[in-house]
Structure 1
Amino acid sequence: MQKKIKTALLSYGMSGKVFHAPFLQLHEGFELLGSWERSKQLIQQDYPEVKSYATLEEVLASDAELVIVNTPVDTHYEFAKKVLEAGKNALVEKAFTTTAAEAEELLNLAKEKGLKLTVFQNRRWDSDLKTVKSVLDQKLLGAIVEAEIRFDRYNPNLSPKAWKEGANAGAGVLKDLGPHIIDQAIYLFGYPEAVSADIRTLREGSLVDDNIDITLFYADKRVRLHAGFFNREQLPAYIIQGRKGSFFKDRGDIQEDTLKTGAKPNLTDWGTEPIEKSGLLHTEVDGVVIRQTIPTLQGNYYDLFDGLYQSITEDKPEPVTAEDGLRVMKIIDAASASSEQKRVIKL
């Protein structure tokens, strides 16, 4: 019989309802115990058998082996530290922390206690990113000379969520969308040598950064990252240029939008992009120039949870390690310093 990992959430807002609970229910290796709910008690409407915890202390006193820290970014360090100190494994939402120093402290604490600490960089399992990774793994473009990863939206209005717009250490696009594209860049191309960034506030009345341009410097390539809210007409999310050819891919993963409808994930046709979102490959193979669409691979966040399950039960590496999270935070810190000082920051 498969071992069940008893798991608790630290909130049941959008992330708990959409990104976590459905996959914990789908995976036979997890048992959802419940969630800490400060005001509204909502989790039992969806999962009548689970518990609504009144306090964090109640969660930490439970027999949960895994706690998912899916609260606002500026609470991640404090809550994850308490979870680890209570002897429980932790899955922490992005951004991992608010500084690299906090990330390093959590990493060392998890090692000291022999616990698993994972960062929820779920977009490594997006259909579009998986397709880009496949093209790179097949070396279809030759040596890469430059790349661009964008997370563009059109939304000039401020978010009604106060924690997203307040001038706190975890707010702003650099720590909201930034961790996705920074982690994807490291995942695809490795850790860069230096960083330069231009971080701006463009929306009227905004107190936080909402437009970021980051350049990652490698010995043989440059990788540019962009996220912002004034992109009504969007460029491809992935533009990869190699010595032999190019690959362009729109951001097309459907998992988040599908989950928001209340649909439950599965292990068959889940995360299948529309065919019109196929990527464009223009390259040379065996001396022949080709220009064709590339079907998108299937995405599924289930694989992150399955990797976490194997990490805890079989002592395998976490699907996204605390070291991965620390590297992202080091780039975020460097990007902030670069934008403020108007200079390139060596890592």
Structure 2
Amino acid sequence: MQKIKTALLSYGMSGKVFHAPFLELHPGFELLGSWERSKKLIQEDFPNVISYPSLESILEDESVDLVIVNTPIDSHFEYAKKVLLAGKHAIVEKAFTANVAEAEELAYLAKEKGLKLAVFQNRRWDSDLKTVKKILDEKALGEIVEAEFHFDRYNPVLSPKVHKETVNSGSGIVKDLGPHLIDQALYLFGLPNAVSADIRITREHSLVNDYMDLLLYYPDFRVRLKAGYFVRESNPSYVVHGKKGSFLKSRGDVQEDELKLGKKPNLKTWGTEQEGNEGLLHTEINGKVIKDKVLTLQGNYYDYFDGVYQSIINNLPEPVTAQDGVNVMRIIESAFQSSQEKKVIDL
């Protein structure tokens, strides 16, 4: 199998938890190393890889095929542009960029140079979201009337990561948790016609937005997306109501927690939720009303990386395209405009 030789732009939590384990598992990738600044950690986990001293050392390494831009959001555009100009494929973490103009420029540059550019929206491959998609694909609820997705936490304490709590072009909950919710909504329902939003600061001493309530307007239904840090008792993370019934599902994907514990992913049992987190389907099928639990599908971020592999080797579309990233940024920019002007923004 042809190998895609890959380098990371950091080996903090995201590199160690979300990327390296799947690059190691997939036979089509070879992890060459990571750019490391003050802490030199990657060789503790992968003794045979390189600890690159700079971005330039990665770009000058002709053996590198793919670069994963997993640095703070406000650096995504600068680094991804340099990667593409160096003739290398790129994966860019969410939020894709700081604004729409940057996203569009990267998408254009990748197309112009014939390179693959994928956005790391791994939560399309969460077990819970995959199950919601299955319910929608089966049209088990009839015509959709409304949906509400939550990414709730109880965490009133400010993050120790300085870039998350200082005012910059990438900070705040709208560009941290927001891209997960927005991408999932667009993945399931497509682009809306309009957006309205309420974006606020709720934590004491916070300088950045930490509460969001977005409403996406579709011709025949609405989708609400909410995230905040003062939810001690969570709502169902996915609520979808149709003209025949409803589906409720908690956020039960186990992958992030297990990766943080150092567990290694596999292709058989990985991403399997524990019993008790099943979704509730209450609907009418063939004239019969049913109310029953729905078995949760298996999640696996491996499928994202396999999609990247297929896109590069077989010239297929990326699993999450640059245009997908542009669309998410359009929603984010419209949400900020809506919140500031207190009005609905047409797309």
Question: Do they superpose with TM above 0.5?
Answer: yes
Q: Name the CA distance, whole Å, in 1 between partners of 2:309 and 2:195.
A: 34
2:325 corresponds to:
325
1:212 corresponds to:
212
2:5 corresponds to:
6
2:47 corresponds to:
48
Correspondences of 1:87-106 after superposition (within 5 Å): 87-106=87-106
1:59 corresponds to:
58
Tell me, yes or no, if structure 1 residue 299 matches structure 2 residue 290: no
Q: Name the CA distance, whole Å, in 2 between partners of 1:280 and 1:274.
A: 15
Structure 1, unmatched stretches of 5+, are none
| TM-score, length of structure 1 as denominator length | 0.99
1:268 corresponds to:
268
Q: Name the CA distance, whole Å, in 1 between partners of 2:67 and 2:89.
A: 6
1:147 corresponds to:
147
Q: Name the CA distance, whole Å, in 2 between partners of 1:286 and 1:293.
A: 18
Which amino acid counterpart does residue 24 of structure 1 have in structure 2?
A: L
Q: Name the CA distance, whole Å, in 1 between partners of 2:40 and 2:203.
A: 34
Q: Name the CA distance, whole Å, in 2 between partners of 1:203 and 1:308.
A: 38
Q: Name the CA distance, whole Å, in 2 between partners of 1:320 and 1:147.
A: 22
Let me know the Cα RMSD of the aligned residues: 0.3
1:35 corresponds to:
34
Paired-residue identity, %:
68
1:86 corresponds to:
86
Q: Secondary structure at the match of 2:234?
A: coil
Q: Secondary structure at the match of 1:276?
A: coil
Q: Name the CA distance, whole Å, in 2 between partners of 1:38 and 1:85.
A: 23
2:126 corresponds to:
126
Return the offset for 1:275. 1.4
Q: Secondary structure at the match of 1:240?
A: strand
Q: Name the CA distance, whole Å, in 1 between partners of 2:98 and 2:346.
A: 20
1:225 corresponds to:
225
1:194 corresponds to:
194
Structure 2, unmatched stretches of 5+, are none
Residue-by-residue CA offset, 1:72-125 (whole Å, 9 max, x unaligned): 000000000000000000000000000011000000000000000000000000
Tell me, yes or no, if structure 1 residue 245 matches structure 2 residue 241: no
Return the offset for 1:209. 0.2
Which amino acid counterpart does residue 303 of structure 1 have in structure 2?
A: D
Q: Secondary structure at the match of 1:277?
A: coil
Q: After the TM superposition, which parts of structure 1 deviate over 6 Å for at least 4 consecutive aligned residues?
A: none
Q: Name the CA distance, whole Å, in 1 between partners of 2:316 and 2:109.
A: 18
Residue-by-residue CA offset, 1:45-96 (whole Å, 9 max, x unaligned): 0000000000000010112100000000000000000000000000000000
Which amino acid counterpart does residue 280 of structure 1 have in structure 2?
A: L
Q: Name the CA distance, whole Å, in 2 between partners of 1:187 and 1:14.
A: 26
Q: Name the CA distance, whole Å, in 2 between partners of 1:194 and 1:8.
A: 39
| TM-score, length of structure 2 as denominator length | 0.99
Residue-by-residue CA offset, 1:162-186 (whole Å, 9 max, x unaligned): 0111101100000000000000000
Q: Name the CA distance, whole Å, in 2 between partners of 1:212 and 1:108.
A: 30
Q: Name the CA distance, whole Å, in 2 between partners of 1:345 and 1:207.
A: 25
Number of equivalenced pairs: 346
Q: Name the CA distance, whole Å, in 1 between partners of 2:48 and 2:27.
A: 16
Q: Name the CA distance, whole Å, in 2 between partners of 1:102 and 1:338.
A: 21
